[in-house]
């Protein structure tokens, strides 16, 4: 069978998984095949569309079974893990939500799982921290990461409050900065220690 490979090019760069779609057109007798192979760090997927219909197969094009096995992806997306030293965390005059928690003053503290729904059109890096006016008993993790796009999975942040034997009310202002979107999400967290 005489197969002719006419053209190949990188069609798309998938930002969220650091992969590439390679588009290849081939002809065998009277049938034209359009082959798309997605290449990423670990594996590839192939999809073939022929003139007579669409179907999924294993390795499709002769002598191209190992296409992408030695591919090197330069750059890609690295998830952030630290807050830039110059970033400021300023609470909004009106928070997006308010959360109340109770904690025993003589306990090791209380932990709250805060579920944050994505609000941006695309995947965004986020940086989270309590502002300077928050009580020192508050802390949270993770302080940075990648938030899904709107309609996707929520991001879970673990908020801790350790009263250290002080029976009183503490207030923490949690600010989640989304610098690429030039926006932020703010939570006012009130912990009552008894």
Question: pLDDT band for position 77 (50/70/90)?
Answer: low
CB environment 105-144: b (16+ within 10 A), e (fewer): eeeebbebebebebbbeeebbbbbbbeeebbebbbbeebb
Question: 194 is written with which tokens?
Answer: 């008894």
Q: Helices marked H in 106-149 — which ranges?
A: none
pLDDT tens digits for 8-50?
A: 444 444 444 444 444 444 444 455 554 444 444 444 444 433 3
pLDDT tens digits for 121-154?
A: 999 999 999 999 999 999 999 999 999 999 999 9
Q: How many Cβ atoms are within 10 Å of 26's Cβ, its own excluded?
A: 21
Statement: residue 52 has pLDDT above 50: no
Give the DSSP H or E segment for 146. Answer: strand 144-147
Top pLDDT among 94 and 64 is at: 94
Given a contact cutoff of 8 angstroms between Cβ atoms, the answer to whether 12 and 23 are in contact is no
What the chain holds in terms of domains, given with CATH numbers, is 1-77 (no CATH), 97-193 (2.60.40.10)
Q: Does the pTM exceed 0.85?
A: no
Which residues, 6 or more positions from 182, have their beta carbon under 8 angstroms from its beta carbon?
A: none
pLDDT tens digits for 88-131?
A: 999 999 999 999 999 998 888 999 999 999 999 999 999 999 99
Backbone dihedral angles phi then psi of residue 81, each to the nearest 5 degrees: -135, -10
- Which residues are registered as beta bridge partners of 21? 12, 38
How crowded is the C-beta side of 110, counted as CA atoms within 13 Å?
A: 18
């Amino acid at each position: 069978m005489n197969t002719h490979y006419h053209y190949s090019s990188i069609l798309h760069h998938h930002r969220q998984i650091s992969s590439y779609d390679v588009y290849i057109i081939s002809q065998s007798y009277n049938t034209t095949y359009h082959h798309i192979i997605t290449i990423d760090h670990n594996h590839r997927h192939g999809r073939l569309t022929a003139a007579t219909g669409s179907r999924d197969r294993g390795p499709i094009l002769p002598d191209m079974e190992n296409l992408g096995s030695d591919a090197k992806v330069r750059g890609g997306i690295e998830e952030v893990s630290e807050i830039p030293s110059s970033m400021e965390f300023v609470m909004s005059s009106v928070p997006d939500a308010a959360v109340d928690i109770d904690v025993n003053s003589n306990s090791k503290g209380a932990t709250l799982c805060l579920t944050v729904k994505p609000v941006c059109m695309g995947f965004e890096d986020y940086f989270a921290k309590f502002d300077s006016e928050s009580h020192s008993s508050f802390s949270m993790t993770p302080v940075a990461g990648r938030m899904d796009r709107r309609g996707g999975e929520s991001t879970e942040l673990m908020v801790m409050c350790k009263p250290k034997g002080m029976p009183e009310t503490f207030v923490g202002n949690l600010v989640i900065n989304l610098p690429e979107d030039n926006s932020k999400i703010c939570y006012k967290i009130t912990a009552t220690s008894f």
